[in-house]
């Protein structure tokens, strides 16, 4: 796919999403930002397996979407994104071109290339499986550092003059919290509970999490039944 994106919207979002990617180079499939056209919007996703950030650019900010196929995707490494962002500088007027066939991310002042074939074949985790369909469960214990970085991410993308309140809700199914804001409707941040503080009502779901989001080693077992004393 070859898309042209608004630089003033895309570059700040790219910086925020890239900050949530894994810096652990023994996990190369998480060392980048995943781009996916979901049929209605361009998704930018990054995770370090303990948290996940997802930003959706609506069709109004994406040109050339009519040539993209649903579920087309690619993953651009952090080193290439850092090079692009450094050369791009502050976002201004103009368009960013994302060409996944040619392996190019470019702006009038910056251009980086990546291996298009390798980028398509990166085994990025199936993140859609952990996006909570319902919210309303008890809030689990989560990393304060991750929570502060999430708040900073929303503050960065909140338009000037807008009320930047955020909503923090937990999934009743398997425990992660979902953070959203009406001021930044395209951004969703998921933070996994700290080990040992999980929803005991969903042990089967949590036991499958390593396959869903690599790196989560939380293990949940149902509480042991108390043995009744003989009369």
**Widest distance between CA atoms in the chain:** 84
| One domain, residues 141 and 70 | no
User: Looking at the predicted structure, is the pLDDT value of residue 223 above 50?
Assistant: no
Cβ atoms 138, 162 nearer than 8 A = no
Q: How many domains does the chain have?
A: 2
The model's pLDDT over 151-178, given as tens digits with 9 standing for 90+, comes to 999 999 999 888 878 999 887 755 788 9
Q: How far, in Å, CA of 154 to CA of 51, rounded?
A: 15
| One domain, residues 67 and 110 | yes
Computed over every residue of the chain, the mean pLDDT equals 79
The model's pLDDT over 18-49, given as tens digits with 9 standing for 90+, comes to 999 999 888 888 999 999 998 888 999 999 98
| One domain, residues 53 and 108 | yes
Tell me whether residue 226 is in a domain: no
- State the pLDDT confidence band at 231, using cuts at 50, 70 and 90: very low
Q: How far, in Å, CA of 200 to CA of 222, rounded?
A: 7
| One domain, residues 75 and 165 | no
Tell me whether residue 24 is in a domain: yes
| One domain, residues 103 and 10 | yes
Q: What is the CATH number of the domain that holds 98?
A: 3.10.150.10
User: Looking at the predicted structure, is the pLDDT value of residue 108 above 80?
Assistant: no
| One domain, residues 153 and 178 | yes
Tell me whether residue 211 is in a domain: no
Q: Which residue has better confidence, 115 or 201?
A: 115
Q: How far, in Å, CA of 3 to CA of 20, rounded?
A: 23
Indicate the residue among 87, 121, 155 that finishes a domain. Answer: 121
Note the pLDDT of residue 208.
Answer: 37
| One domain, residues 100 and 184 | no
Using DSSP, state whether 7 is helix, strand or coil.
Answer: helix
Q: Which residue has better confidence, 194 or 179?
A: 179
Prediction pTM value:
0.79
- Using alpha carbons, select from 14, 53, 6, 46 the residue that is nearest to residue 30: 46
Alpha carbon separation from 28 to 11, 24, 36, 97, 132 (Å, rounded)? 23, 8, 18, 24, 26
Tell me whether residue 228 is in a domain: no
User: Looking at the predicted structure, is the pLDDT value of residue 196 above 60?
Assistant: no
Note the pLDDT of residue 110.
Answer: 79
Using DSSP, state whether 219 is helix, strand or coil.
Answer: coil
The arithmetic mean of pLDDT across residues 2-6, rounded, is 89
| One domain, residues 21 and 109 | yes
Tell me whether residue 108 is in a domain: yes
The percent of residues above 70 in pLDDT, for the chain, comes to 81
- Using alpha carbons, select from 118, 98, 117 the residue that is nearest to residue 44: 98
Domain encompassing residue 45: 2-121
Note the pLDDT of residue 1.
Answer: 86
User: Looking at the predicted structure, is the pLDDT value of residue 189 above 90?
Assistant: yes
Q: How far, in Å, CA of 78 to CA of 99, rounded?
A: 17
């Amino acid at each position: 796919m070859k898309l042209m994106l608004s630089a003033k919207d895309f570059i700040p979002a790219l910086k925020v999403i890239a900050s949530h990617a894994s810096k652990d180079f023994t996990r190369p499939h998480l060392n980048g930002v995943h781009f996916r056209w979901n049929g209605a919007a361009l998704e930018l996703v990054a995770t370090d397996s303990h948290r996940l950030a997802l930003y959706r650019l609506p069709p109004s900010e994406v040109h050339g979407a009519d040539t993209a196929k649903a579920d087309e995707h690619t993953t651009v490494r952090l080193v290439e994104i850092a090079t692009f962002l450094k050369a791009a500088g502050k976002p201004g007027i103009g368009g960013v071109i994302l060409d996944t066939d040619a392996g190019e991310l470019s702006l009038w002042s910056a251009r980086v290339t990546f291996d298009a074939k390798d980028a398509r074949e990166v085994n990025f985790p199936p993140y859609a499986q952990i996006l909570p369909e319902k919210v309303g469960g008890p809030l689990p214990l989560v990393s304060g550092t991750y929570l502060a970085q999430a708040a900073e991410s929303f503050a960065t993308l909140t338009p000037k003059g807008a009320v930047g309140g955020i909503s923090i809700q937990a999934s009743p199914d398997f425990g992660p919290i979902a953070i959203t804001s009406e001021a930044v409707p395209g951004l969703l941040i998921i933070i996994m509970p700290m080990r040992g503080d999980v929803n005991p009502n969903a042990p089967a779901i949590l036991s499958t999490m390593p396959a869903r989001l690599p790196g989560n080693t939380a293990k949940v077992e149902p509480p042991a039944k108390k043995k009744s004393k003989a009369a």
